[in-house]
A and B are shown apart, each in its own frame.
Chain A
């Protein structure tokens, strides 16, 4: 079989890279959605902000670290951002598509350079961009169609809950707090992921 196998330094994605990317992104999405459902079940709407913002990246980053290390090629972060954005777009959030494209471009710029996906600090730094983009999926409806969105929220939540959510997604100090929590969760998740990568994955020599 004469197939031009990519050299180790080639940036061309192999079928194995694509499959690894899909498998791990599915896991990341499943983990995030399950955590979101549980969080929504046990917490009041105004309190979910203080938990989800650090919990989701904390749970997802260790998986991302392994995926980035295994693929190690340009496009991992941009692809992951676009896949999550596409999911939200297909579930009715059309405004998520341009946000995801911008997030993907910024993320890939952050990861610019040789072997950046094998450098844990840069992997974590890039993944913070992913979660900041995720945060903007929540902010955008308030910026684009605030009244209609508040009316929709008002159908399901009480006035206090809606007021809290509007403040959390529109006022700058709250937004900065959310981004800081995303960054903290990603950094701690990255440390855990890095430890697991060395302790389990590299030792098993399958990554």
Chain B
């Protein structure tokens, strides 16, 4: 019987291929030093993301890379180092990683389950994707709450009372996080997250020759960029 699962992107790759590509681009990002090589690496990561059905996100990541690159040349103390060394080098692996992060948690769980990862690890991995998107929303809600209560009328007040500012952010964030973890745990248990082995997904999960070919291409291009940087 022919499988009729949902494939994402041009190649319909397995989530584990995205994970390995993320790692390969991450290693390359650490090894390359020059701006040109980093930009080439970003192009590779963007092409990978676009080929996996995230063309718009790929363009956004390239725009972010360009903006950070431009900012890194501002003559401010330490800014150059912070943005260039840390942030700019993180964008290519993050771009490649977006192919994984934007997948359905169901597909990721099903793929990692094939690697016999413990159930608790699978739950944790999926929670990362679920909560990472909520975190910025929660942070904005807390800042909005502080403004509505008029605790810090001026931005300078935060500098004058850093302890109070920390407490005002810390307390609601901790309370919300504790409640959220309880609510999500109850919801996940009701949906059968602890059911054990034999997890399935409507999304395509499984290695094919396309996965191997894609990984080889990513690894070879990364090695080529690194090699070109070493020669130049």
Quick check: A92 and B29 within 8 Å, CB to CB? yes
Contacts of A204 in B (CB 8 A): 175
Quick check: A22 and B131 within 8 Å, CB to CB? yes
Overall SS of chain A's interface: helix
Given A37-B87, A90-B93, A207 and B23 touching (CB < 8 A)? no
Contact with A along B98-141 (1 / 0, CB 8 A): 00000000000000000000001001100110011001000000
Smallest distance from the beta carbon of A34 to chain B beta carbons, Å?
A: 10
B22 within 8 A of A: yes
Contact of B81 among A157, A196, A200 (CB under 8 A): A157
Quick check: A15 and B135 within 8 Å, CB to CB? no
Quick check: B86 and A23 within 8 Å, CB to CB? no
Quick check: A42 and B77 within 8 Å, CB to CB? yes
Given A27-B173, A37-B82, A45-B81, A18 and B22 touching (CB < 8 A)? no
Given A200-B171, A201-B174, A30 and B135 touching (CB < 8 A)? yes
Contacts of A30 in B (CB 8 A): 135
Chain A residue nearest to B29 (CB atoms) is A92
Quick check: A3 and B131 within 8 Å, CB to CB? no
Q: How many A-B residue pairs have CB under 8 A?
A: 129
Quick check: B171 and A196 within 8 Å, CB to CB? yes
A44 within 8 A of B: yes
Contacts of B80 in A (CB 8 A): 156
Smallest distance from the beta carbon of B59 to chain A beta carbons, Å?
A: 23
The interface stretch among B180-188, B200-208, B213-221 is B180-188
B152 within 8 A of A: no
Overall SS of chain B's interface: helix
Given A27-B135, A91-B30, A41 and B79 touching (CB < 8 A)? yes
Chain A residue nearest to B72 (CB atoms) is A156
Report the separation of the CA atoms of residues A153 and B30 in the bound assembly, to the nearest whole angstrom.
12
Smallest distance from the beta carbon of A47 to chain B beta carbons, Å?
A: 8
Q: 16 interchain pairs (CB within 8 A)? A: A3-B194, A18-B120, A20-B181, A23-B131, A27-B173, A37-B82, A45-B78, A63-B174, A90-B22, A90-B23, A92-B26, A92-B27, A92-B29, A155-B33, A156-B84, A200-B174
Known: A15-B189, A16-B181. 14 other contacts (CB 8 A): A3-B194, A15-B123, A19-B127, A22-B128, A26-B135, A40-B79, A40-B83, A41-B82, A62-B170, A90-B23, A92-B30, A92-B31, A92-B93, A156-B85
Q: Which residues in B have some Cβ–Cβ distance to A below 8 Å?
A: 22-23, 26-31, 33-34, 76-87, 89-90, 93, 97, 120, 123-124, 127-128, 131-132, 135, 166-167, 170-171, 173-175, 177-182, 184-186, 188-189, 193-194
Sorted nearest first, the 6 A-B pairs with minimum C-beta distance are: A92-B30, A40-B82, A16-B185, A19-B181, A22-B127, A92-B26
